[in-house]
Amino acid sequence: MKLSTPEFRAMQSIPRKLGQRFFEMPIFRQMGLDLQNKDVLEIGCGSGYGASLLNQLQPKSYIGLDVMVEQVELAGKNYPQFQFLIQDAEDLSQFADESKDAVIIFGVLHHIPNWRKAIEEITRVLKPNGRLFLEEPRGVDIKFFDSIFRWGHPDTDFGLKALDEHLSIQGLKIVNKRWTPLLTMYHVRKINSVKTV
């Protein structure tokens, strides 16, 4: 879902970039993020700062997608060397089954009304043994944030317990999970081939 104006502004801010660069990326790296020679899809790429960080890890290919036209236009302007698409994560049909080694999400599922469908699509496009690195806030923190900053997150049933359950239903195994004050970070592995399930 489109971001509210205050959240859109916050996502372009220097503190957001510093957090992504000096906090979230190093934790993902400690948790096992390795993209060298990998086919990578970033969901909810925003204005492209994540793309610049992820591409430092030398993937074979990188595509960032986001549902919000304004974000993708900014991403294309900021980082013309990378590929970005306007696309809803609930429908990844333009990507073949088992075509991606890694999918990365920096705080996006809690914005998607049918976030379970997005996970199902991610599972489909991941290769067996492919990795999903994701970070999301807890439901209670989203409500707290909205009460102070009026970001107006969509009213979904997203929560970390429901997320863990849905990952498991999809045959995605949590390799490790790290709680931090604002975000919980996951390294997830796809166990089975969709073709054999």
Indicate the residue among 111 and 187 with the shorter CB distance to ligand SAM. 111
The interface with ligand SAM within residues 60-89 (CB under 6 A) comprises 66-68, 71, 88-89
3-class state of residue 173 by DSSP: strand
* Nearest CA among 94, 92, 43 for reference residue 71: 43
3-class state of residue 31 by DSSP: coil
* Nearest CA among 176, 180, 154, 179 for reference residue 167: 176
153 in contact with ligand SAM (CB under 6 A): no
Amino acid at residue number 78 = N
Measured at the alpha carbon of residue 133, what is the angle toward residues 105 and 161, in degrees to the nearest 5?
A: 85
46 in contact with ligand SAM (CB under 6 A): yes
Interface pick for ligand SAM out of 59, 107, 137, 139 (rule CB under 6 A): 107
Contacts (Cβ under 8 Å, ≥6 apart) of 91: 121
Window contacting ligand SAM (CB under 6 A); options: 52-60, 102-110, 159-167, 176-184 = 102-110
112 in contact with ligand SAM (CB under 6 A): yes
**Residues at the interface with ligand SAM (CB under 6 A):** 1, 3, 11, 16, 20, 43-44, 46, 50, 66-68, 71, 88-90, 106-108, 111-112
